[in-house]
Amino acid sequence: MEISQITLFINKILPLAFSLIGFGLLIAVHEFGHFIFCKIFNIHTPTFSIGFGPELYQRQIGKTRFRIAAIPLGGYVEIAGLAEVGQGEQQHAQDTSTNAFNQKPYWQKAFVLLGGILFNIIFAYLAFCLIFMVGNNRAPKHNVSIMSIVQNSPAERAGLQKNDAILAINNQTLSTDPVQLSKEINSVILKEIQAHPNTPITLLIKRNKQEPQPLTVTLGSRQEGEHEIGMIGAAFSAPQRPFLYAFKAGLDYTKTILTLIAQSLANLFKNRNLDGAGGPIMILSQGASTAKQGFIPLLHFLGLISLSLAIMNLLPIGALDGGQLLFVTIEFIIRRQVPEIVKLSINLVSWFFLIGLMLYLTFRDINTIFGNTIKSMMQSIINLFK
């Protein structure tokens, strides 16, 4: 293998592979949440699938067939007595035996449907705890530091470097208390950045053993609904925490991120636009970019995506867990089954809506990431015929 091929593999293919594996892991965690509660309540699960499309691997373990498919952008647990579009062969969808979903009490159904969401939140929380435990040991102790920097970002253009310690922002000194630091990453740093789009801010940084020095960063911006939000293009990390503090910091950070994601999603609906949304291509691209920066940045990114999946699946849309929970809640209240034709129709409409949304976001992602390249190619072709 030539050096250029090795460089291509390390810089492009390997990070993308880690991104795909990470996304597949999140799907596996989500589906395992459904699966484990099915096992707890003795509900039959004929199939556990990670991915869609052509089957790459399958193995029968007990009464469940575990499979891995070629497209790791989804997955499912086929549950006996629960008819869902896209959930396997559906041979057991109308099962009415004692180990069928539709024969279980409401509270057990709710746990099964919320299991994936719960496990996504648990995964993110444990990931954040690990990040806080490991911390950033290369940076000065007791300070917030730069964990990673996005290429061509305001942070990179200003000269910020990985492991730079942030002592103050806009003359506001940051705490050195290990517990308070995790709160300040969100309440001070992020709010200061988000509140000043396209304007310069001053950071007091400490690099290696040098004396602290001020550094001016002219922030960029991104659109979130009707508002412009400041962005710096860097991820912040607190130093290594004591063991018990890491669990508290992880909990605080998880709650903060869940709140931010919920607020962003609410703004998307309120303003009726998708300016803050990204599709599968954008997520994989960002994941690959993050993977280049190391394991901890990638783990942080996966934690954020895991919480996003949890919030998204709570939406009362037929094809999502929230929609299925709405159905069983209505059935519990009215004390009878919602007609299958009604549920099937709503599920089909929901699936078409989600597929259409993904196609639109994918097209927009491709245009965003490769738009300039495509335009240059088209211009070159046009110039040939002039």
User: In terms of domains, do 145 and 173 share one?
Assistant: yes
On the question of pLDDT at 138 being above 60, the answer is no
Query: 152 with 231, same domain?
Result: yes
Within this chain, do residues 51 and 165 fall inside the same structural domain, yes or no? Answer: no
Identify whether residues 232 and 320 lie together within a single domain. Answer: no
Say if 153 falls within a structural domain.
yes
Q: Which of 98-112, 242-256, 296-310 has the lowest mean pLDDT?
A: 242-256
Domain of residue 226: give its range: 137-239
Q: Indicate the average pLDDT of the chain.
A: 78
Residue 34 lies in a domain: yes
Residue 29 pLDDT: 92
Element (H, E) at 289: helix 280-291
Domain endpoint, select from 189, 207, 239: 239
225 shares a domain with 170: yes
Domain count for the chain, please give it: 2
111/176: higher pLDDT: 111
What is the rounded average pLDDT of the residues 191-201?
Answer: 82
In a domain, 254, yes or no: no
| Res 116: pLDDT | 93
Q: What is the pLDDT of residues 79-103, one digit of tens each?
A: 988 877 666 667 777 777 889 998 9
User: Final residue of a domain: which of 206, 239, 272?
Assistant: 239
**Domain annotation covers residue 66:** yes
- CATH code of the domain containing 227: 2.30.42.10
pLDDT tier for residue 123 given thresholds of 50, 70 and 90:
very high
Mean pLDDT of 245-253: 81
For residue 280, tell me if it sits in a domain: no
Query: Best-predicted range by mean pLDDT among 178-187, 295-304, 352-361?
Result: 295-304
Same domain, 211 and 225: yes
Beta strands in the chain (DSSP E): 47-61, 64-78, 144-149, 165-169, 172-173, 200-206, 213-218, 220-224, 227-231, 234-237
Q: Contact 373/342 with Cβ under 8 angstroms? A: no
pLDDT score at 372:
53
Question: What would the DSSP string read from start to end of 53-113?
Answer: EEEEEEEEETTEEEEEEEEEEEEEEE-TT---TTSTT-TTTT--STTSGGGS-HHHHHHHH
Assigned token pair, 217: 């960063």
DSSP string, 269-284: HHHT--TT---HHHHH
Asked if the model's pLDDT at residue 374 lies above 50, the reply is: no
Query: Quick check: is 290 in a domain?
Result: no
Buried b (16+ CB within 10 A) or exposed e, 263-294: ebbebbeeeeeeebebbbbbbbbbbbbbbbbe
Shared domain for 18 and 124, answered yes or no, is yes
* Together in a domain, 322 and 370: yes
Question: If you average pLDDT over each of 146-150, 151-155, 211-215, 230-234, which comes out highest?
Answer: 211-215
Taking CA atoms, 300 is separated from 35, 63, 86, 180, in Å, by: 25, 36, 30, 19
Please give the share of the chain, as a percent, with pLDDT higher than 70: 73
Confidence of residue 336 (pLDDT cuts 50, 70, 90): confident
Residue 232 domain-assigned (yes or no)? yes
Quick one: 113 and 15 in the same domain?
yes
Same domain, 8 and 118: yes
Structural contact between residues 328 and 113, judged by C-beta atoms closer than 8 angstroms:
yes
Residue 127 falls inside a structural domain: yes
Q: 167 and 223, same structural domain?
A: yes
Q: Which residue has the higher pLDDT, 69 or 177?
A: 69
Q: What is the pTM of this model?
A: 0.71
Q: Are residues 159 and 200 in the same domain?
A: yes
Nearest residue to 237 (alpha-carbon basis) of 159, 130, 152, 309: 130
Which one of 239, 258, 281 terminates a domain?
239
